[in-house]
Structure 1
């Protein structure tokens, strides 16, 4: 089992369409109607309604013999001219009719958060009246229309086409006609080509430009520096390359400059960045920037969010960071920074909520000044070269919910736990790969941790037993004690942790039998899963492996990993009660007896490893009905008889069965005799109907679930 890695991004893929924030001041409600709308307006609405395959109940209100000013979602002014159409989040399906462009008084059109498809009618974008158009979060597709160069200017001020399926390049003449545009959100589509150079020359009042999550390439246009009123520029998660042009720093009104996860490179320009004194958010994470953080960064007094994670930056942190007194989020993880964190006086940052310096080369101790940040909720200093004992002052961080100290050189685990129990709001505690060769504290005075949901003390080479104080962690959901030197049995109180669904105690020296209480874990039994599931959200995003991210604890699969211990006895048949299990690993123990038939009840299993034990008897034929099973091994046992055929068994490699000389089957060199073949055929016919039903159901669910799993011992990087 690998260790857990947690990473942080404040800009998650749930798009908060801040680009429309500026536009909300335009949405001033008008007076209620006193007379009827025109026939032309009514006809336009009914044409739109006719183009929908699902109207979300609008037809009940939009009737031909009634005044359309009284229809649901329609607002008119006193002279009965329609000014607003607001039908967001109605589940509408079908195409958008160009007839809505005939509404000569329409100013605000909101069709967002529906399931509309097809193209965006040019009549809406080029309307002579619409100032705010929002079609975000639909399934619109195709390319945007190209217009003749002589097209007159449009009144459109706010355009939100985000979270659709648009593709192709931005047509230049279309945007040249938008001289009144203030906010454009085209994020989360599939636009390609270079970012247009003429946004600000065509739209001199442009204040918000959001191009995130597309396929733009090329360099950052230097012409964007001419945007004198631009306040938000977001183009993260594209394929933009090259260096940040000097001209961009002429856009001195910028409050948000965000280009994460591109291919930008070069140094951070300390000479010009001071021009952007209005910056509140600076996000250049996930690029290829090198060099140091310039001292001039301290002149950005308004800076609240600063992201430089996942670059190639090096050197010591500038003490001038202490001058950014409004900092709330500082993310410098996955770089090559060195020196001591004490270079920064964190006591000057009273608003700091998140500090992430994971995966660098920092040395020394955790600065005492950090403990002055009373608003800190997430602190991650893992995977550095920090040492010493934990300071008692960490208990001053009363708001701390997420703490990761793992993979450093900290000492004295007993002292650390005695101190940390005072952090009453902790939900995630990762202290693994420290405290090398110490004794697992069994101090009964360790209490607190009332809210703890994730506890990781893996890879510390701790001796001793699984301590009783863990039984008091009544909200615990994930427990990782793997890669230590723990001895003794798995405690019988384990089922008292009523929320536990992820348990890894592998690679220890545990003895005894698999306790029956382990098969009574409530969160692993289907009868409890829906009523006791806690949809907790991680304070920081959890990275599993290189590509998977988890925002909630419940995104993780249910895991029971007891591998690489000295457990003996039989696998209890009651194991079949744990129907929510996604991974079951009992490998490298001293288990004997047969594989219980009840394991075939674990229909959610994706990993089953019983290898390197002393198991005997046949392989249960019904295992071929576990259609989620993606990793399977029973090698190095004393099993006999035919290998089941069909289902997932047709996908497993021969190595899954190695070291069982009494097994036979078509995948092995040792074939089965006629009697054994008859046994295989009978079992296959008996299970055919059940297998078909399971397979048919699994077809619809396996795609989403399988994408969330990494089958590398097994799933978690904490």
Structure 2
């Protein structure tokens, strides 16, 4: 289900919610006919649908309803199952379904149904599984009268709708058989309900994530003696983890990320059956207790984005079933060598980004031969990268940004043997070294993202990059590379993001750039991230490259000549930055064909002529800058270009307009000018370029983004 596919839920087993699917399967034998009353009740459902996607053809009143599509009957000719999931149904849910006295399972999930959830279904005397998830149902849940007999309902899935309001208390008091309640991804408010724990002795799954619940985690959880999964992430819960929670030793999955929870983890070791612990993005402090080693079944540990400090306890080595350790964005310190990673043979993902670990990368880590993702960036490690990292044959994602690495040639030679690497981020290391030349580097045939930025590397764009035929994203910005852009760049058929800003590259903008296939095509790229990639806030998480913009960033170099007319071929590009170069001539007309552009920066060049009127056709343009050129004529007063501030046009003395000192038709010159100094405005340019894409999801490592966003 959707909440469990979220990054903070990543790794949750689905067998709890699979219970609903199991219960939906009926082994009943076919029968000859259903009753007229049941046929009438089903036809009432059909009558309430504004779109049934062909259901009418099957549900004919002159045929036996037991033969209708999605209907199953018992041997005694009673309807037991209505299963119409993913049928594209629109309209309302008929309350007359409550008249089906033999109905056991009702599945209307994954449609476009609207309106409320009829009380007749929740209070049914027969339904044991009710699944209306992934629809557009609205309103609140009705209170069931206290005089109503106890309900047989075992599984209630109302997730991914538009429900609002508080949970009705008497409703849960009557559901003494409830086992699974999934109300995630709605807009419920108020406190977390714990009544099911008191009323239903077999209650085991409570999924409330992605709502607006507030207040403390309620006391009384000790009554939930059979609870196996408690998930209430992405709400507004506050306070500390109550002692009653630690007494629920049946818990296997505890997920409370993205709340405001405080305190420490001292009682967590009592939950000896925990498989998943996700308390990421809260306000937890103190340290991880030594007793963490008592959680022998633990597979997923997510404590990221908290204020936890201290050293990692050596007892973590006793959690031998660990698959994922996510501790990024905390205040951990000390040496990692105290943890014997060789005992964690199942470990696949280790994320320690943004902490204060020091010392060397432990050699025992290279014994984790199942490791697929390793992020150690932005700590205080020192020393050379060990050749033993080549033994991590499954490694796909490696991020070592800002890790005081030296000797880039040797580092790339070591990593070249990691044949499964698809993502490699090693920027802000190797200060003032030289970019390796072609005959020194081999391998990386599966690499899709490479970031060697912020290193002040000298040399040229190396030809060995041309061998990386699967490369989609390349960051070489903030170095001291010189020479021209090589023509082989067009042979990188999957390249869709190129950032070489703030270097010393020269020559003209080559036509080879205009022949890069992916910058001309709307096609997307394969998956490239094993770990979630974040913007500044943990609420923005990206795993799919389809959210990544198509970008060509060439700013802050020494390119000269005219902007090629062929630039109009790059119709898939959403951000084009040619700022702070020595480009001359007019803004080419074909640039107006780039109708997907959201960012266009041509500032700080030597461009002449008028502003092409057809630029107004770039309707998605949200950032536009042509300041500090030698453009002339009127600034558009209507259309898209009229919506940008004066600063977008400053430093062009010959431009005129009603909002400028130089009115069209006058002889006055615009004296406003902005000094363009290479390197000073880099962060501003990038903030413009990246900011436009946050709402659609910029895929890049958090370390790189942090340079521009804090």
TM-score interval for Structure 1 and Structure 2 normalised by the shorter chain: over 0.9
- Mapped partners of 1:708, 1:113: distance in 2: 24
Q: Can you give the 5+ residue segments of structure 1 that lack an aligned partner in the other structure? A: 1-7, 677-703
> Where do residues 228-377 of structure 1 align in structure 2 (5 Å cutoff)?
228-269=225-266, 272-377=267-372
What is the CA–CA distance in structure 1 between the aligned matches of 2:644 and 2:17, rounded to whole Å? 52
3-state SS of paired residue (1:600): helix
SS at match of 1:376: coil
Shift of residue 225 of structure 1? 2.0
The CA deviation at 1:25 is 4.5
Of 499, 508, 515, 1:513 maps to 508
Give 1:15 deviation, angstroms.
10
| Residue 429 of structure 1, CA deviation | 0.5
SS at match of 1:388: coil
> How far, CA to CA, are the matches of 2:131 and 2:16 in structure 1?
11
- 1:205 is displaced (CA, Å) by 1.0
2:200 aligns with one of 193, 199, 203:
203
Deviation at 1:523, TM superposition (A): 0.7
TM-score normalised by length of structure 2 = 0.92
Deviation at 1:28, TM superposition (A): 4.8
Aligned residue for 1:411? 406
Question: What CA distance in whole angstroms lies between the structure 2 residues aligned with 1:69 and 1:47?
Answer: 16
Structure 2 gaps of 5+ residues are 669-691
Q: Distance in 1 between matches of 2:637 and 2:7?
A: 49
Q: Which moved more, 1:556-565 or 1:141-150?
A: 141-150
Q: What is the 5 A alignment of 1:501-650?
A: 501-526=496-521, 529-530=522-523, 533-546=524-537, 548-650=540-642
Q: Distance in 1 between matches of 2:173 and 2:584?
A: 76
Provide the C-alpha distance between the structure 2 equivalents of 1:306 and 1:662, rounded to a whole number of angstroms: 62
**RMSD over aligned Cα, in angstroms?**
2.2
Does structure 1 retain, via aligned residues, the 8 Å contact 2:533–2:699?
no
**Deviation (angstroms), 1:443:** 4.0
Moved over 4 A (4+): 12-19, 709-712
Q: Distance in 1 between matches of 2:642 and 2:630?
A: 22
Structure 1 residues 102 and 308 mapped into 2: Cα distance closer, same or farther (>3 Å)? same
Residues 32 and 76, structure 1, Cα contact 8 Å, conserved in 2: yes
Contact 2:574/2:596, CA 8 A, preserved across alignment:
yes
SS of alignment partner, residue 615 of structure 1:
strand
Change (3 A) 1:661 1:16: farther
Paired residue for 1:91?
A: 88
Per-residue deviation, 1:440: 0.6
Partners of 1:18 and 1:193 in 2: CA distance:
29
Q: Report the equivalent of 2:675.
A: none
SS in 2 for 1:291: coil
Query: Which residue of the partner structure matches residue 701 of structure 1?
Result: none
1:649-706: CA deviations, max 9, x gaps?
Answer: 1211111111111111123121112999xxxxxxxxxxxxxxxxxxxxxxxxxxx978
Which deviates more, 126-135 or 648-657? 648-657
The answer as to whether partners of 1:534 and 1:554 remain within 8 angstroms in 2 is yes
User: 1: distance between equivalents of 2:28 and 2:144?
Assistant: 36
Q: Return the alpha-carbon distance in structure 2 between the equivalents of residues 355 and 481 of structure 1.
A: 26
* 1:448 equivalent in structure 2: 443
Q: Could you tell me whether the CA contact under 8 Å between 2:306 and 2:329 is conserved in 1?
A: yes
> Could you tell me whether the CA contact under 8 Å between 1:407 and 1:433 is conserved in 2?
yes
Q: Secondary structure at the match of 2:614?
A: helix
Given that 1:631 and 1:711 are in contact with CA atoms closer than 8 Å, whether structure 2 keeps it comes out as no
Q: CA deviation at 1:641?
A: 1.1
Q: Between Structure 1 and Structure 2, how many residues are aligned?
A: 677
State the match for 2:41 in structure 1: 44
Look up the match of 1:696.
none
Choose from 74, 77, 80 the match for 1:80.
77
What's 2:683 paired with?
Answer: none
Distance in 2 (alpha carbons) for counterparts of 1:408 and 1:651: 43
Q: Which residue in 2 is equivalent to 1:398?
A: 393
Q: Find the residue that maps to 2:530 and give its secondary structure.
A: strand
Conserved? CA contact 1:544–1:716, under 8 Å: no
Q: 1:14 to 1:587 in 2, by over 3 A?
A: farther
Shift, 1:267, TM fit = 1.1
Asked whether 1:470 is paired with 2:465, we answer yes
Using the alignment, how far apart are the partners of 2:8 and 2:181 within structure 1? Answer: 18
**Matches of 2:513 and 2:704 in 1, distance apart?**
21
- 1:29 Cα shift? 2.6
1:193 aligned partner: 190
Higher RCO, 1 or 2 (CA under 8 Å, sep at least 6)? Answer: 1
- Change beyond 3 A, Cα 1:19–1:165: farther
Say if 1:371 and 1:393, in contact at 8 Å, map to a contact too: yes
Indicate conservation of the 8 Å contact 1:422/1:448, yes or no.
yes
Give distance in 2, aligned partners of 1:643 and 1:265: 55
User: For 1:267, what is the secondary structure of its paired residue?
Assistant: coil
Q: Does structure 2 retain, via aligned residues, the 8 Å contact 1:33–1:79?
A: no
Q: Secondary structure at 1:170's aligned position in 2?
A: coil
Tell me how far apart the structure 2 counterparts of residues 301 and 706 of structure 1 sit (CA, whole Å): 40
How far apart, CA to CA, are the structure 2 residues paired with 1:622 and 1:78?
71
* TM-score, normalised via structure 1 length: 0.91
CA distance, structure 1, for counterparts of residue 478 and residue 279 of structure 2: 37
- Of residues 343-352 and 617-626 in structure 1, the stretch that sits farther from structure 2 once superposed is 617-626
**How far 1:203 moved relative to its partner?**
1.4
Query: Could you report, residue by residue, the CA deviation over 1:142-198 in whole angstroms, capped at 9, with x for unpaired residues?
Result: 000012223220000000000000000001001111010000000000000011232
Q: Matches of 1:18 and 1:34 in 2, distance apart? A: 32
Indicate if the aligned counterparts of 1:624 and 1:645 stay in contact, CA closer than 8 A: no
- SS of the residue 1:175 aligns to: helix
Paired residue secondary structure (1:418) = helix
After TM superposition, give the deviation of residue 226 of structure 1 in Å. 1.4
Question: 1:574, 1:598 within 8 Å by CA — same for their partners in 2?
Answer: yes
In structure 2, C-alpha distance between the alignment counterparts of 1:575 and 1:716, rounded to whole Å = 28
